[in-house]
Amino acid sequence: MLTTEEYSRILDVLEREPNKGEVAVFEAMWSEHCSYKSSKRWFHLFNVKAPYVELGIGEGAGLINLGDDLLVGIGLESHNHPSAISPYDGAATGVGGIIRDILSQGCKPIAILDAIRFGELEKSQHSQYLLENVVRGISFYGNCCGIPTVGGEVEFAPQFENNCLVNAMCVGVVQKSKVVRSIAAKPGSFLVLYGARTGRDGIHGVSFASKDLSDKSDRDRPAVQIGDPLMEKILIDVTLELVEKELLDGLQDLGGGGLSCAVSEMTHKGNTGAIIRLEDIHLREDDMEPWEILVSESQERMLAVVECDKLDEVVSILNRQDLTYGVIGEVTDNSHCIAYSRGEKIVDLPVDLIVDGFPEPERITEKPDYLKEEDSVVPDFEDLNQEIIKLLSSPNIGSKAWVYQQYDQHVQTQTVVPAGSDAAVLRLDNGKHIALSLDCNSFMVYLDPYNGTANSAAEAMRNLIATGAKPLAFVDCLNFGNPENPDSYWQFVESIKGLGQFSHDFNIPVVGGNVSLYNESFIEDKRERINPSPTIGMIGIIENPEKLIKNSFQEKGNFVVTIGECDGNLNGSEFLRNNFGILQGKISQYDKQKEVSSRKAIENLNQSGYIKSCHDVSNGGLITALAEMTFENEIGVKLDLLENDSFIKLKLEEFLFAETPSRYVIEIHSEHIESATKIIEGKVSFNIIGKTNSQPKIEIENFLILEIKQLKNAWNKAISQYMED
């Protein structure tokens, strides 16, 4: 709904009352979801430039030039509210929408990743239901479209019980000469709407996504779009043919806000206007009102800008593929968006007013009351072995195979490293490899939005470094609470500052993303807010495939080395949260120099050919990294710590469970350890902590022996035990 101030602005500019159709357009376009009215004022804090960035923030996909005129497109979107009330359709259409965002720049979609968050599985059948159906929706849509789902992340916390998060990322490729922009720049060009017919599904979707959930939100189920992945597959193939033949002068998908959004945004970017005829749009329901047609968010639709001399060929291709289409209007030079329905003018609005004419709302920040910097105290425990088993049994730490095994990860035959590793790796047609990661630690962001967000971005970077990739760019999906609440808005602003600092520190630009606010709910008059969750999707390049690094121990008799120093800080760790229910205290601070030193050490060692395997240290700490490195090949490790300078300063639980940033575990062949240490000595903190062996166990001196079989069993069942009968 429009605010009183917003409606007054409309009256002032138009000097008349808007009609029903015009109000519907403003309600869609001035919603938080479409306008970014609470967030875009902070985007100046991001680094958005790099020599290889061909297209940045502002269109469906950011475009990165990998050389040889091959561009990679990357985008990340949320579909949180729809998934909370209709998980299957909400998740499926979230995937469909981000695929079309990539497609709108002319990219062939080659991979999907997803970041999903739910309540605690062990305590909530509702969260089990949401997880099952969200994963089913993602799987069905991606598999039917023939696009591999190759990675992502899953997180569980009680704060996501009523507000689950579903963020979908898509990656595509396009030759530089074939790029299409989401711009209508040439008056006289035709507007062609093609794909599925327009129905009532998704009406008011962006308005629904721009308010808190409540126990009455189920009434908004009609605002959730219904997806058809088989139609999407046809849409992809037809669009790529039109792109290859260079028949399109502009292209945008119809997502949030529907036709009203696509037409106004494309003309706004082109400094043009448009006339559209609603009777030329093919409908699923004949009794739709004009305003419903304008804001319908029916899926699998694209709006193309086609020059006059290319229209016949475009129409021929659409007819040959038996794809529904309509030539619904023309681009004009009058900077107005005008819509007719059977000769009656329904809308006549200045494009500038529609897109960015809203009054900027006042937002206040206030540090939340819950933040206390008292350090956590580790409760007494009797059996360290059992605490490790309990940690690996956490759904946040354990295997996500129950999720990703439902996805086709190898269709298109480009997947080199699938889900389950630090980062997914794909082979491109030019022989180069790209690595992809998707990360956020919402618990750390909850305790410290600035440092938690910067460290989450650094974690996404470390995942790429651990595979041998050079990070290039990232997209973000900023999931937060109600910006009208000062404490929620404080979380958002601090997080943006941390993310911006990271982007400048490492010269890794932000090339796109999404903001999802109002992730709060009022259930039985009780306010519930998600953990702030700025999800980071990062892409890197592996120029030489021979430098691809494995994530699991490869041989017995090799040295195990930690890169980076452990500070012993357990605040915010999964060990304290999962094992003892403690989430408080001051977390480890983001430290650019430590991240730089560790990164250079890994890159230099890999360039010299000394790294046999590598795993970054993050959720669950060192013990989790070590355990995961043993699982694939069942190669054990014995740690010798009593004379280790890093260990003797810490308690054993601090050494094993602290999630201190800037750290990696690497495996180095025994013949190369001396040469390897010379490369990094004096440049980064490192410790030789033990050696791999043929015994299927992790042995810490002589006082703790962990059987790999037992660890792996606990890790494997972390999610599946709640999801399988």
Count other C-beta atoms under 10 Å from residue 212's C-beta. Answer: 20
Beta carbons of 459 and 441 less than 8 angstroms apart: yes
Class of residue 37 by CB neighbours under 10 A (exposed 0-12, middle 13-18, buried 19+): buried
Burial class (CB in 10 A: 0-12, 13-18, 19+), 343: exposed
Crossing angle for the helix pair 125-145 and 229-244, to the nearest 10 degrees = 40
Of 33, 204, 268, 336, the active-site residue reads 33
- State both tokens at 708: 């790999």
Cα separation of 657 and 388, whole Å? 9
Active site (annotated) includes residue 268? no
Q: Cα separation of 227 and 91, whole Å?
A: 10
Sheet containing 470-479: order of strands: 415-417, 424-427, 433-439, 533-542, 470-479, 510-516
Cβ within 8 Å of residue 179, ≥6 positions away: 54, 55, 63, 71, 105, 106
Residue 31, classified by CB atoms within 10 Å of its CB into exposed (0-12), middle (13-18) or buried (19+), is buried
**Which DSSP symbol is given to 168?**
E
Helices assigned H by DSSP within 49-180: 80-85, 87-103, 125-145
* Options 79, 81, 204, 672, the catalytic residue: 79
CA 183 to chain centre: 25
CA distance 388 to 575: 8
Give the whole-angstrom CA distance, residue 45 versus residue 356: 20
- To the query of whether residue 410 is one of the catalytic residues in this protein, the response is no
In sequence order, the β-bridge partners of residue 82 are: none
Report the catalytic residues. 33, 79
